[in-house]
Amino acid sequence: MTVTRRWAFLGGFGALLGAGGFYALLSRPPSLDYVRKRLAGTMSAPTGPLSVYHLGHSLVNRNMPAMLAQLAPPGHHYDSQLGWGTTLKAHWGDAEINGFEAENAHARFRPAHEAVASGEYDAIVLTEMVEIRDAIRYFDSALYLYRWAETALRARPDVRLYLYETWHPLDDPEGWLERLDRDHERYWLRQVLGPALRRLPPTAQIHLIPAGPVLAAFVRAIEAQGGTGSVQSRTDLFARAADGSQDMIHLNDLGNYLVALVHFAALYHESPVGLPYRLLRADGTAADPPDPETARLMQEVTALVVNTLGLSGTTT
């Protein structure tokens, strides 16, 4: 490079710095290779029941953690803080939590900052609102994932941290399965999980609970064979209003059971194959169970996806 060109380059780089370009360079999403290498390998499996804190919104809901507790070893404990479409930023206190009173009117509620800073939980499961694109663009998803993780690690260095990857509405114009496939890498890994991991010390991890990829794999499996028992199509995993209209994003008991299986496999490092499928909702009423064939397929798909992705730190 000539002297003239070198000075021109440096001058342009200086202008870039002055315009905030240096921050842009540093905040560029890491590569998928970085994320996968960072999460490669396994961590030790739990030796007993876990105490788990769930921070999120209605795609966590009350029933899924209650189902997880019934699948887990006796002694499993959980608490949560929820909202309606709530961001990690809002939970931090930097925005309003819509639906706070309604969503947290139950015995398992514990204020988020108190819970995460207590050091009393073996595992903390965090999730971000959807639309995930808007969460990243307007609500600093990666920054607040890092802040929650750093707070948890400061209170308890051996805490197990997880990002719960969710999904988007069934009627998304880009296609529901298509977005599940694309969003896993382009948003959840590269723009939420990756930047948060890069801010943390190299030894710190935030593993993935890949509910979105498991939903996609299960729906492909059942739709390829024309349905199985309880689930004939993807809509059979989603709730319906009292008038019978389709809820486009919230799961019913069958969908919540599938997501509880994903949490179990990631948290406990055990195959969910053979787990019970007749469970109770959080209020103690009987959940609508899958038929045995569908339950078995849900369990097998969950085990396959969690272990094939290799992003959950599991040893199975």
Nearest in space to 210 (alpha carbons), one of 236, 191, 184: 184
Residue 17 has pLDDT above 50, yes or no: no
Give the other-Cβ count within 10 Å of 92's Cβ: 17
Mean pLDDT of 114-124: 98
Residues 6+ apart with CB under 8 A from 48: 73, 75
Residue 147 has pLDDT above 90, yes or no: yes
Number of DSSP helices (H) and strands (E) in the chain, helices first: 14, 7
Is the separation of the CB atoms in 271 and 316 below 8 Å?
Answer: yes
Residue boundaries of the structural domains of the chain: 1-30, 31-309
Mean pLDDT of 280-294: 98
pLDDT at 10: 35
Give the least confident one: 22-31, 96-105, 223-232, 239-248: 22-31
Is the separation of the CB atoms in 267 and 50 below 8 Å?
Answer: yes
Give the least confident one: 16-20, 59-63, 95-99, 110-114: 16-20
Phi and psi, residue 109, nearest 5°: -70, 135
What is the longest distance spanned by two Cα atoms in the chain? 77
pLDDT at 316: 57
Mean pLDDT of 288-311: 98
For 31-309, CATH gives 3.40.50.1110
Residue 15 has pLDDT above 80, yes or no: no
Residue 26 has pLDDT above 90, yes or no: no
* pLDDT tens-place string over residues 41-80: 999 999 999 999 999 999 999 999 999 999 999 999 999 9
Residues 6+ apart with CB under 8 A from 57: 82, 83, 84, 85, 86, 103, 127, 129
pLDDT at 27: 60
- What are the CA-CA distances from residue 311 to residues 53, 83, 127, 265 (Å)? 20, 27, 16, 12
Give the other-Cβ count within 10 Å of 135's Cβ: 23
Mean pLDDT of 264-282: 98
pLDDT at 223: 95
Residues 6+ apart with CB under 8 A from 78: 51, 52, 53, 54, 65, 68, 69, 108
pLDDT at 267: 98
* pLDDT tens-place string over residues 159-176: 999 999 999 999 999 999
Residue 197 has pLDDT above 70, yes or no: yes
pLDDT at 315: 73
